[in-house]
Amino acid sequence: MTDQTITDKNFCITVDVERDYGRLNQYECLNHLDHLLKLFKDMKVKPTLFISTEILEKFPKISRTLTQLDVQPHSHSHKIEKIRSLKFKIEEIRKSKRIYKDFFGVNPIGYRAPFGAISVPEINVLKKENFKYDSSIFPSFRPGVYNNMRASSKPFYYDNGLLEIPFSTILFVPLSLSYIQLLGGRFFKIFQNKMPDNIIFDMHLHNIYHNKSFDELNFKLKLMYLRNKDNGISILKNFIKLLKKKKYKSISMKEHYETIIRNE
């Protein structure tokens, strides 16, 4: 694996568009996508959506919203109950590529695995399917899902030549709306000078839009999501304002990928 270094200060806001809370068989949060995209437009932010392609099948009218955006696959169905089945996850990669191409008329260039759980065999399939980059790796630790404490926090190439663009972290804590809500904005303000020059920030619709599907979560998950439950939008806005104050520029993941390739 070889690291790729970029010197400009940029940030990519990535949104995982998936079933509610990443696990329920509902898509109520999807009703708020237009509102979120307007918020980004008003703040002059270029988001990248990693979308479960099952949504493209179930909600074909969503195309009007997506055609002008950087959109890449986030598996097909995001069924976390099958997260340990390698065969299933490989099928998800191939199916998501096929449905994406049918929908947009072009092949995808990026991929993101559910919960950041990806293995070398999947990386090899992505390469064979002509994906240009993956963005699944949290250089962090999540019990029972991944242990990437030794992974680079900068873009790097796998042995097969596929580019990995990892999520950004501060002290091994992912720079994501979920963690800012959980730990509080003060934590990130204290360590704001430790932020990398190029930030890959992650969020979900369910971080800021809640509905009746919330009641279907188990007690542990409810407790987690109750933390700053109603402050998601204000936390997101404040974080973006902080980045702009520190002279970061908003770019899409496609632009970030192209910059890496250009700087080789």
- What's the CATH number where 23 sits? 3.20.20.370
- Residue 206: domain span: 2-262
**Residue 7 has what pLDDT?**
52
Nearest-10 crossing angle of helices 33-42, 232-245: 30
- Name the nearest CA neighbour of 260 among 22, 45, 3: 3
Q: State both tokens at 240.
A: 């973006």
Give how many domains the chain has, as a whole number: 1
CA distance 122 to 129: 10
Between CA 65 and CA 51 the distance in angstroms is: 13
In the predicted model, residues of the chain with pLDDT beneath 50 are: 1, 4-5
User: What DSSP assignment string belongs to the chain?
Assistant: -EE----S-EEEEEEEE-SGGGTSS--GGGGGHHHHHHHHHHTT--EEEEE-THHHHH-GGGHHHHTTSEEEE--SS--GGGTT-HHHHHHHHHHHHHHHHHHHSS---EE--GGG---HHHHHHHHHTT--EE----SSEETTTEE-TTS-SS-EE-TTS-EE-PPPEETTEE-BHHHHHHH-HHHHHHTGGG--SEEEEEEEGGGT---GGGGGS-HHHHHHHHTTTT-HHHHHHHHHHHHHHTT-EE--HHHHHHHHHHT-
pTM attached to this predicted model? 0.94
Amino acid 192: pLDDT: 81
Contacts of 12 (CB under 8 A, 6+ apart): 46, 48, 198, 199, 200, 201, 250, 251, 252, 253, 256
CB atoms within 10 A of CB 209: 19
pLDDT at 24: 94
Tens-digit pLDDT profile for residues 114-143: 999 999 999 999 999 999 999 999 998 888
**Tokens read off for 133:** 């980059």
